[in-house]
Structure formats: structure tokens, C-alpha cells
Amino acid sequence: MIQADVRFWSDQMIPPRRNPGLGRVLARERNGFTLIEILVVLGVITLLVGITVPMLRGARLASLNTMDLSQLRQLGVAHLAYQATNTDHFVDVGLPHGGYGDEAQSFAEVLARYTDDIVMKSPLDTSRHWPSDVGGDGIGVEDGGAGPLRRTSYGMNNYLSRNYSPMVALYGPGHAADRFTKVRRPERIVCFLHMTRKGDFAVSDHPHVESWDAGNEPWELASRQVAISAAEGEEVVDELATSNYGMLDGSTATIEFGDLYESADRNAFDPTVELPRTGG
């Protein structure tokens, strides 16, 4: 009986064995995350942000380009409607670079009467020269911010104009390619394009394509008049720069500059010359 009591009391006096794993867990709960664990978590977050942000930026740019192509398509539809009621003649331009011009003659004003869906400000356009009530800074293109403001993101190929075509300047009235019967393959000839966002041509409604052949890099000269990289979300000045274009038949496309212009004798602007070797 005495031995049993001794065994009982001795069993009660033996301290319980500790679980080392449980101790480490409790210590971690008391001390929080280690520095290494925090660095690992931050690294994972940084990696995810680095992957996600470009994807979101790319998705937003794709959406803006889709909207822009839709607006160019509406311009094309309105232009076809204009031709149907004006003996098949093309609409014209009226806003010279750096000047005020005749806005009532410009396609930007005229085509608005043929559809309610035309929006002359592209969602890709970040020019400061727009009036402040449409998202610009209200700054003109002249010194000190004076002068005319931007009235359209888009311009029209001046080879299709009755007033600003180089063919008219060289050979006189009647030599402009101002209707479909004077244009071969209208689906390949550019009609509407993006004007540059800064400088004198930012307030014009047409470029001077005939001036692009003055050097070995026509894309550099063209970029001073038109936004050759409007579709890219950043300024790119080379022959691979892409922008959105409305063709003469009403179709639209995102095209590299080099697929539209090789030289004065081979381009998709002057209907009297050969088309570029690339681009279809």
C-alpha cells in the first residue's frame, strides 16, 4: 500500500514533457514574421505588380485604340454620305498649319452634319492645345500660348483636297484627286489620319505629304505633321511606328508608317504613284 502511494505521488511530481515544435510556433506567434519572410512577401508583391500593371496598361491602350478606330470609321461613313449628296466629290480641308483658316470649309465641320456620332477628339489625343472645356490646357500654338486652338485630332490626306493638293499647286484646278473616279484602289489610299499633338500642325486639318521626301528618313519629317505613333501610347519616330488610319473606302486599320510611305514615288497618299511594296 505504501509502495502504491509512493508511485502515485512520484508520478504526479514528474514534470510533463514539453513539445519543442509547439514552442517554436508559440514563439513565432509572439515575435511575428521574420525579416526574411517579410522580404519574401514584398518580393512576391513586387513581382505581381510588375506583371499586372503592364497588362492593365496594355488593356487600356487596346480599348482606346478600339474606340479611336470606331471614330475613324464614323468619319468614313459620314464621308461616303457626303459624296452621295455632292456629285461623288470628296470633302475638303480648310485649316492651314499655324493659321486660322476657314473652319466652315473643313471636313471637321462639314461631316458633323452627316452623322451624330462623329467625335473629332480622339481618345488617344493628349494634346495641350485643346480648349480647356474638352480636356486641354487652352494653350495656342504661338509664342506665349496665343493663337488658334486645336479643333480636330484628325487630318485629311491633302492629295485628296481641291484647295491644298500639290497637284493643284503644280498644274492648276481640275488636277486634284477629289473623287473616286480619279483614284485607283481606294481601299489602299489613306484619307483620314492623326495630326501631330504639338507645333503648328497641331491646329491644322491636313498634312503636306509632298514635303516628306526631303531626306532619308521620311518618318521623321512626317512626325512633325502627323502622329505616326498615335496607336502606341508613346512617341515613336521610326518607320515601324504605328497609328490608326481611315482609308478612302471607309475601312480602318492600324498600320506601320513604313507600310504606307516609302518615297514620293511609292506611297499610299498620292493616288498617282505606285503603292508601297509592303502593306498588302
Quickly state the pLDDT bin for 8 (edges 50, 70, 90): very low
What separation in angstroms does the CA of 136 have from each of 106, 129, 154? 21, 6, 16
Quickly state the pLDDT bin for 102 (edges 50, 70, 90): confident
Quickly state the pLDDT bin for 90 (edges 50, 70, 90): very high
Burial of 19 (0-12, 13-18, 19+ CB in 10 A): exposed
Quickly state the pLDDT bin for 1 (edges 50, 70, 90): very low
- Assess contact for 87 and 135: CB atoms under 8 A: no
The residue among 72, 88, 242 whose CA lies nearest residue 157 is: 72
* 252-256 β-sheet, strand order: 154-156, 190-194, 242-247, 252-256
Quickly state the pLDDT bin for 6 (edges 50, 70, 90): very low
The three three-digit cell numbers of residue 171, written as one number: 498644274
How far apart CA 127 and CA 213 sit, in angstroms, is 26
Whole-model pTM?
A: 0.80
Task: Please tell me the total number of residues recorded for the chain in this structure.
Answer: 280
How far apart CA 244 and CA 228 sit, in angstroms, is 8
pLDDT confidence of residue 2:
47
Summarised one tens digit per residue, pLDDT across range 139-180 is 999 989 999 999 999 999 999 999 899 999 888 888 899 999
Burial of 2 (0-12, 13-18, 19+ CB in 10 A): exposed
Summarised one tens digit per residue, pLDDT across range 232-272 is 999 999 999 999 999 999 999 999 999 999 999 999 999 99
Longest dimension (CA), the chain: 134
pLDDT confidence of residue 32:
66
3-state helix, strand, coil in the chain (%, to 5): 45, 10, 45
pLDDT confidence of residue 51:
81
How far apart CA 109 and CA 93 sit, in angstroms, is 10
Q: Is the pLDDT of residue 224 over 60?
A: yes
Percentage of the chain modeled with pLDDT above 90: 67
Beta strands in the chain (DSSP E): 154-156, 190-194, 242-247, 252-256, 261-263, 266-267
- 116 or 60, which is more confident? 60
What separation in angstroms does the CA of 62 have from each of 67, 73, 79? 9, 16, 26
How far apart CA 53 and CA 55 sit, in angstroms, is 5
Phi, psi dihedral angles at 127 (to 5 degrees): -60, 140
Summarised one tens digit per residue, pLDDT across range 11-46 is 555 555 555 555 554 455 555 678 888 888 888 888
Q: Is the pLDDT of residue 280 over 80?
A: no
pLDDT confidence of residue 130:
97
Query: Looking at the DSSP assignment, which residues form a beta bridge with residue 192?
Result: 156, 246
